[in-house]
A = this chain, B = another copy of it.
Amino acid sequence: MTAETGRRPMRADARRNYEKLVAAATESFLANGPDASLDDIAKRAGVGPGTLYRHFPNREALLDAVCVRWADSVAADAAPLLEAADPTEALNAWLVRLVAHVSEFKGLAAALLLSSDRKHDTAWVLHHTSDELVERAKAAGGIRADVTTSELMQLTSGISYACGHSKQAGKPTSTPERLIGLIMDGVRTR
C-alpha cells in the first residue's frame, strides 16, 4: 500500500496530503496509542476529515500505512544478523529485537503482525525477513525442521502482546528475552 493507488500517479497535492497524514498519524499513534482520534490526526496534518477518509477508508488502513514504514526500518535491522556466524543465535537475537521493536511501537503493530494475508504489508515484510533467518538456522541444523516461521511469529507476537499488557504488579513480569529464550529452548535441536 504505497502512495500510488493503482492506475495513474497521484496528483501533487494528494501525495502531499498523504505524506502529511502518515506523518501526523505516526506521531499521534505513538503519543496516544492506536485509538488516537482520526479527526484529530487530520487536524494535525492540516487537512479535513474528508481528506483523511478518502486516503484511508478506516483506522486500520492508516495504521497499516504507518506500520509499513516502521516495518521496513525494523527489517533493515536484521541485515547484519543474516551474516552472523551462528544462525540459531542470530534467530534468537532477531526475535528479541522484534519484540523490542513492537513494544517500542506501543504495540501498534501487534495486531498487524499476525495477519499473514496480503492485505497487510507489515506482516509480509516482517514474516519475510524472519523467514530468511529461520531457514538459515534450519539449514545449519540449529533448530527443528518441523517448526514453521508462522509459528514463531505467532509466539513472538503473543509475547509482545503479553509483555505490553502485563500490569506490573508485585512480581516483576518476565523479560521478553526470557520468554523468547524459553521458546528457543523448545525449538532448538538437541
Residues of A with Cβ closer than 8 Å to B?
A: 111, 114-119, 147-148, 150-151, 154-155, 157-163, 165-167, 169-171, 173-174, 178-179, 182-187, 190
Contact = CB atoms under 8 A, between A and B. Distances in A.
A173 B163 CA distance: 22
Question: How often does this chain occur in the complex, in copies?
Answer: 2
Given A114-B165, A167-B115, A155 B173 contact: no
Contacts of A173: 150, 154
26 contacts: A114-B162, A114-B165, A114-B167, A116-B166, A116-B167, A116-B171, A117-B167, A117-B169, A148-B174, A150-B174, A151-B178, A151-B182, A154-B159, A154-B174, A154-B179, A155-B158, A155-B159, A155-B162, A155-B179, A157-B161, A158-B160, A158-B162, A182-B183, A182-B186, A185-B187, A186-B187
A137 to B, nearest CB: 15
Contact of A151 (B118, B151, B174): B174
Chain A at the B interface: SS class? helix
Instruction: From A151, A167, A171, A187, name the one whose CB has the most chain B CB atoms within 10 angstroms.
Output: A167
A116 B169 CA distance: 6
A169 B118 contact: yes
A179 B150 contact: no
Contacts of A182: 147, 151, 155, 183, 186-187
A122 to B, nearest CB: 12
Contacts of A116: 166-167, 169-171
A160 to B, nearest CB: 8
Contacts of A162: 114, 154-155, 157-158, 161
Contacts of A159: 154-155, 158
